[in-house]
Amino acid sequence: MNENSILVIEDDDILNSGLCYNLQQAGMDPHPAYRLSEGREFLKDNACDLILLDVNMPDGNGFDFARELTSEYSIPFLFITAHNLEDEIIEGLRIGADDYITKPFSLRVVIEKVKTVLNRYPGSRARDCIHCGSLDISLNNRTVRKNGELLSLKPTEFELLTLFLENPTRLLTKDFLMERIWDSKGNFVNDHTVSLNVSRLRSKIADENCEYIRTIYGLGYKWIGDKEKRI
């Protein structure tokens, strides 16, 4: 069974060490980061189950980092901070934090809160990393690598990819894709928008051997995985 990977972004050396020690004692796999930039670097190359995030960091604001986080990844996070005003707590929760813990706090309480949040996302690591052909896909981190190189996918392209992965070998009509990705956000699009986005996604992930997404003319699209291209 994989240990839960916890990223601890906290610039106080003693507090960071204490959190990491207690997380490790609780059977988790903690990774310390003392600057926001270190947290960003870790997330680029590593799967992560949960983040503990301070607000007042030497190289930026934790609230801004959290907004960046929620736009690029699907990782639960908890604020751990001395910012204890009601408006600050509300801001943190509205950004998307699973909890907001104010300093000073009990390390035991933090560990229990971490466990509680992790229990809301059972088996996330098992579903997270998908290998298909030359692709390595992290659903948790919303990243895709082709032959080890990180691809630049737009949010809509990644949502399309996720939808294909959730429905392997199933024919997905353009109407289905429009309803699941665009209509749910109140955006009106036509067939051309769907075709264009699927085409862009396929051009980024396909290689000389695999096309991954096959067009079923007049009907829609089907995820065929790493089957070889038809000649």
Q: Is the pLDDT of residue 211 over 60?
A: yes
Whole-angstrom Cα distance, residue 194 to residue 178?
A: 7
- At 67-104, the pLDDT tens digits run 988 877 778 899 999 999 999 999 999 998 999 999 99
Looking at residue 95, its pLDDT comes to 92
Whole-angstrom Cα distance, residue 64 to residue 153?
A: 22
Q: 131: which 2 tokens?
A: 């290998």
Which of 17-21, 126-130, 144-148, 158-162 is the least confident region? Answer: 126-130
The two most distant CA atoms of the chain are separated, in Å, by 65
Q: Indicate whether 164 belongs to any domain.
A: yes
Last residue of a domain, one of 122, 140, 163: 122
CB 150 within 8 A of CB 143: yes
Q: Indicate whether 158 belongs to any domain.
A: yes
Range of the domain at 159: 154-228
- Helices 191-205 + 155-166 axis angle, to 10: 80
Looking at residue 228, its pLDDT comes to 60
Q: Is the pLDDT of residue 6 over 90?
A: yes
Number of structural domains found in the chain: 2
| Mean pLDDT value across the chain | 88
CB 166 within 8 A of CB 221: no
- What's 141-174 look like in SS3? CCEEEECCEECCCCHHHHHHHHHHHHCCCCEEEH
* CATH number of the domain that residue 96 is part of: 3.40.50.2300
Cα-Cα-Cα-Cα dihedral of 153, 154, 158, 161, to 10°? -70
Q: 197: which 2 tokens?
A: 């986005």
Q: How many helices (H) and strands (E) does the chain have?
A: 9, 14
Q: Indicate whether 87 belongs to any domain.
A: yes
- Helices 62-72 + 86-95 axis angle, to 10: 20
Last residue of a domain, one of 99, 122, 145: 122
- At 106-119, the pLDDT tens digits run 999 999 999 998 88
Same domain, 11 and 112: yes
Q: Indicate whether 144 belongs to any domain.
A: no
Q: 202: which 2 tokens?
A: 């396929």
Q: Is the pLDDT of residue 18 over 70?
A: yes
**Residue 74: burial class (beta carbons within 10 Å; 0-12, 13-18, 19+):** middle
CB 174 within 8 A of CB 163: no
Overall average pLDDT of the 138-143 stretch: 81
Which of 30-44, 128-142, 167-181 is the least confident region? Answer: 128-142
Q: Indicate whether 213 belongs to any domain.
A: yes
Q: How many CB atoms lie within 10 A of CB 47?
A: 17
Amino acid at 93: L
* CATH number of the domain that residue 220 is part of: 1.10.10.10
Same domain, 28 and 88: yes
- Global pTM? 0.58
Same domain, 102 and 159: no
Q: Percent of the chain scored above 70 by pLDDT?
A: 91
pLDDT band at 24; cut points 50, 70, 90: very high
Same domain, 188 and 105: no
Q: Indicate whether 96 belongs to any domain.
A: yes
- At 147-187, the pLDDT tens digits run 989 999 998 999 999 889 888 778 999 998 998 888 755 56
Q: Is the pLDDT of residue 126 over 60?
A: no
